[in-house]
Amino acid sequence: MTRRLRERVYAKCGGHCAYCGREITMKEMQVDHLAPLYRNDTAEALAKDGIRKGTDDFSNLMPSCRACNFRKGTLSLEGFRQEIRSQCDRAIERSFQVRMSLAYGLLEHHDHEIKFYFEKLEEL
């Protein structure tokens, strides 16, 4: 990927991760494919989530922090949304420390729609 293209991807969200919104430097940025390159394009897989393999087109490239890029992996955007939600549910279910922190008001559980940073930018 050329430096110019990386700069354009970085500018898409003003130096923020497209998903969590955390500020990232150009050096920290990883380029994520919104629609993953590595997908199973069988008829069965397409019927399940309707997502085709992505491309290297600029419109499919998103600036990402390391954590979000790792966690999203080859998931579709909706799959990533579901994974974040289930990750939270698993932490509450399996961790005594999380449940105690919730009970003492140190943590709060917010059950709301997950909107990614780039989606919030599009609404402006």
Q: Is the model's pLDDT at 124 over the cut of 90?
A: no
Taking residues 95-121, report their average pLDDT. 94
> CA distances (Å), 90 to each of 26, 53, 86, in order?
33, 29, 6
Q: Is the model's pLDDT at 46 over the cut of 80?
A: no
Lowest mean pLDDT among 48-52, 62-66, 119-123: 48-52
The residue among 21, 25, 36, 37 whose CA lies nearest residue 122 is: 21
Q: What is the pLDDT of residues 29-40, one digit of tens each?
A: 999 999 888 765
Looking at the DSSP assignment, which residues form a beta bridge with residue 63?
A: 31
In terms of DSSP H, where are the helices of 22-76?
43-49, 66-72
Q: State residue 37's pLDDT score.
A: 82
Give the residue carrying structure tokens 């709060």: 108
Taking residues 80-100, report their average pLDDT. 94
Lowest mean pLDDT among 12-21, 50-59, 100-109: 50-59
Instruction: Tell me the average pLDDT of the chain.
Output: 90
Q: How many domains does the chain have?
A: 1
Q: State residue 43's pLDDT score.
A: 53
- Reading phi first (left if > 0) and then psi (alpha if -120 to 50, else beta), residue 60 is in alpha
Q: Is the model's pLDDT at 115 over the cut of 90?
A: yes
Taking residues 65-85, report their average pLDDT. 93
Domain that holds residue 84: 3-123
Per the model's pLDDT, the better-predicted residue between 55 and 116 turns out to be 116
Q: Residue 24 CA to chain centroid, in angstroms?
A: 14
